[in-house]
Amino acid sequence: MKNRMFDVVIVGGGISGCALAYVLSKYTDVKSIAVLEKYGSLAPLNSNARANSQTLHCGDIETNYKLEKAKSVKQQANMLVHYAEMVDKNDFLYKFPKMILAVGDDECERLKKRHEEFAEDFPYMELWDAERIAQVEPAVALIDGKPRPEKILACGCTDEYSAVNFGNLSKSFINSARKTNTELNVSLSSKVEKISQFDDHYELQTSQGTFMARFVVVSAGAHSLLLANQLGHGLDMSILPMAGSFYYVPKMLNGKVYTMQNDKLPFAALHGDPDLIEMDKTRLGPTALVLPKLERYTGGTYWDFWKSLKLDGKVVRVFWELLKDSTIRNYIFRNFAFEIPWIRQKLFAKDAQKIIPGLKPEDLEYATGIGGLRPQVINKTDMVLQLGEASIVPEGENLIFNMTPSPGATTCLGNAYRDAQIICERLGIDIDNELLSEELLDGQACR
């Protein structure tokens, strides 16, 4: 594929890149598209079912979301549900019961208030007492058949989509895109080494030759920032790679059990989930650990970590602000300890007993090879660790760089629509907003 000019080249064959290829192919007049993926298959890293929690984040069980954020995430989650309704083969979207679990008086009170506030927008969520929780998830409410000692309350539902195999969904997007676009080129084992800018196009050097593009979208996870920096963009950003590990227990839960978020802790609270690739097991996690590399289970990205961290006084100050708080400090050290073989089972069991009170350390098995990395962005201008997604869209240039930690897989179609609008506007190409809104957004505008 040497020296061919494409309208759009997408770097990264994870869920973000594949969703964009689909949206451009189906809803716009952009036809010549190339997707360049470094490894030999689609969704090999964070979008793979082994790497993430497989949750369709709808804002209903994530207590770290305020109502507005929850409504926006729900709309984007529904885009996936509508997509699934349109395809012939759905091997990616599943229904399991799901709940937020509150343990103790304080959490129960907070959950009750949240339920009232969210009731109008999430009418399917019910408040469950201990008896009802025991019907849905006996292991959560009972120890050896008797009620657990603490007061518990849950907010849950049993008939909603809650789990996604985002790896299979990535492949489905490409298959669907190919049905409407014969000019879609997916090039695997094509690592983009360098992007060069010319007057009216860009050139991408890869191991498979040079690709030319009128517009480039980089959705390469943590590596997006390095490619942006090469072109002089995003220099006020650093990447903090937060690894998430998991533990397995034999199947103890029927569905997803999320816990209440501690407002001070920046990363999602522990949860228990069915595993779509190991259905006889329950997965618990994720943990949160800073790792000095940009990809979890591949070698050789340590130097890339240092290049994208760009350690200086500002980064040190952001770390210092985080570590100053004893809750955050203890959380970081505790999560580090969750990786130490001799003690991790015992320590993790203590936290996991909040979800499954009868769980014993010996029930736990460290899930080797399971888990991924969230590329959290440090914004050096505002001196903060950004918790959500980050994009760099340079003014007047045909470039977008996306860094998508959680819930970036759930919001892939919403993000793809946002990028497609920018691409079409800048290239002067038509986009069928009406058809997209009708098929994916219940006829509404995207929030």
Ligand X SMILES: Cc1cc2nc3c(=O)[nH]c(=O)nc-3n(C[C@H](O)[C@H](O)[C@H](O)COP(=O)(O)OP(=O)(O)OC[C@H]3O[C@@H](n4cnc5c(N)ncnc54)[C@H](O)[C@@H]3O)c2cc1C
Answer yes or no: are the C-beta atoms of 276 and 56 closer than 8 Å. Answer: no
The pairing of beta strand 4-11 with beta strand 202-206: unpaired
CA dist., res. 355 & res. 295, Å (int): 29
| Residues in 115-144 that interact with ligand X by CB under 6 A | none
Smallest gap from residue 285 Cβ to ligand X (A): 7
Q: Is the peptide bond before 97 cis (omega within 30 degrees of 0)?
A: no
Q: Tell me: does residue 75 bind ligand X (CB under 6 A).
A: no
Q: How many CA atoms lie within 13 A of 14 on its CB side?
A: 28
Per-residue mark of binding to ligand X, 394-413 (x: CB under 6 A): ----------xxxxxxx---
Q: Which stretch binds ligand X (CB under 6 A): 43-51, 64-72, 340-348, 426-434?
A: 43-51
Q: How far is the CB of 41 from ligand X (least distance, A)?
A: 9
Number of residues assigned to the chain? 447
Q: How far is the CB of 229 from ligand X (least distance, A)?
A: 13
For residue 193, count CB atoms less than 10 angstroms from its CB and return exposed for 0-12, middle for 13-18, buried for 19 or more: exposed
Closest to 153 in 3D by CA, of 125, 128, 117: 128
Are 293 and 241 contacting, i.e. CB atoms less than 8 angstroms apart?
A: yes
**Does 274 sit near ligand X (CB under 6 A)?**
no
| Span from 14-22, 113-121, 129-137, 338-346 in contact with ligand X (CB under 6 A) | 14-22
- What values do phi and psi take at 435, rounded to 5? -65, -45
Tell the smallest beta-carbon distance from residue 434 to ligand X (Å): 27
User: Is residue 255 close enough to count as binding ligand X by CB under 6 A?
Assistant: no
What is the DSSP pairing of strand 98-103 with strand 93-95? unpaired
Smallest gap from Cβ 80 to ligand X, in A, equals 9
Judged on CB neighbours under 10 Å (0-12, 13-18, 19+), 273 is buried
**Token digits of residue 373:** 């990395």
Q: Is 39 in the site for ligand X (CB under 6 A)?
A: yes
Nearer to ligand X by Cβ, of 148 and 173: the residue is 173
Rule CB under 6 A: is residue 286 a binding residue for ligand X? yes
Q: Which residues pair with 327 in a beta bridge?
A: none
Question: Does 59 engage in binding with ligand X (CB under 6 A)?
Answer: no
Residue 64 makes contact with ligand X by CB under 6 A: no
Is residue 217 exposed (0-12), middle (13-18) or buried (19+ Cβ within 10 Å)? buried
Q: Is 374 in the site for ligand X (CB under 6 A)?
A: yes
Q: Which of 136, 212, 231, 373 binds ligand X (CB under 6 A)?
A: 373
234 binds ligand X (CB under 6 A): no
- Among positions 353-372, residues that touch ligand X (CB under 6 A) are 371-372
Output 58 or 154, the one with its CB closest to ligand X. Answer: 58
12 binds ligand X (CB under 6 A): yes
- Calculate the CA 18 to chain-centre distance: 14
How far apart are the C-alpha atoms of 396 and 26, rounded to whole Å?
A: 26
What region does 232 belong to: left with phi over 0, alpha with psi -120 to 50, or beta? Answer: left
28 vs 404 by CB, closer to ligand X: 404
Q: Does 55 bind ligand X (CB under 6 A)?
A: yes
Stretch that binds ligand X, among 42-50, 209-217, 353-361, 380-388 (CB under 6 A): 42-50
Q: Pick between residue 357 and residue 375 the one whose CB is nearest to ligand X.
A: 375
Interacting residue with ligand X among 6, 10, 24, 54 (CB under 6 A): 54
Which residue is at the shortest CB distance from ligand X? 14
User: What one-character-per-residue DSSP string does 135-170 give?
Assistant: HH-HHHHEETTEE-SS-EEEEEESSSEEEE-HHHHH
431/419 Cα distance (integer angstroms) = 11
Residue 414 within binding range of ligand X, rule CB under 6 A: no
Shorter beta-carbon distance to ligand X: residue 54 or 181: 54
By CB under 6 A, name the binding residues for ligand X. Answer: 11-17, 36-39, 43-47, 51-55, 57, 166, 191-192, 219-221, 223, 244, 286, 371-374, 404-410
